[in-house]
Amino acid sequence: LASNKNGDVTHQLEYRISRLEGVLRLNKIITESGGKIFATNGKTADFDGTVEKCKEAGGSIAIPRNPGENEAILYFVKYFNTYAYLGIKQSLIPGKFQPLNDAQLSYTNWYSNEPSGQGEE
């Protein structure tokens, strides 16, 4: 990225990032919704391991906040034919859930009689 002009360097970085995102999309390990990038390494892990890997990557475990983000997460569930952990936890009220950061959960899309913790939520 040798250049004397900041604009040239910025343009080169944008171009390289765009190419990298394209490769990652082809490999089915990233998808996007509403300007957010959702990613996976495609490996099986436990919840705590998933939270830690997300932090190591500079992000956080996904919390769907609208139908588009929900679809982005489902993309991986369908492609890898597995479940996905979400950044939510059961609240002190049984059957109610909240984000890990204790904020309000503003979007849900559970199947009927879910969540049950049985993997079909």
The whole-angstrom separation of Cα 105 and Cα 89 is 10
CB-CB neighbours of 62 under 10 Å:
23
Asked whether residue 69 is assigned to any structural domain, the reply reads yes
Asked whether residue 45 is assigned to any structural domain, the reply reads yes
Distances (CA, A) of 67 to 21, 32, 70, 79, 120: 22, 13, 5, 18, 18
Asked whether residue 51 is assigned to any structural domain, the reply reads yes
Q: Contact, 102 vs 89, CB < 8 A?
A: no
pLDDT digits (tens, 9 = 90+) for 18-37: 888 888 887 888 999 998 99
Asked whether residue 28 is assigned to any structural domain, the reply reads no
Asked whether residue 8 is assigned to any structural domain, the reply reads no
Asked whether residue 22 is assigned to any structural domain, the reply reads no
Asked whether residue 50 is assigned to any structural domain, the reply reads yes
pLDDT digits (tens, 9 = 90+) for 39-92: 998 888 999 999 999 999 889 999 999 999 999 999 999 999 988 999 998 888
Q: What is the total count of domains within the chain?
A: 1
Question: For the residues 102-117, what does the mean pLDDT come to?
Answer: 80
CATH number of 65's domain: 3.10.100.10
- Give the range of the structural domain holding residue 89, as residue numbers without chain letter: 33-99
Q: Contact, 31 vs 75, CB < 8 A?
A: yes
pLDDT above 90 covers what percent of the chain? 37
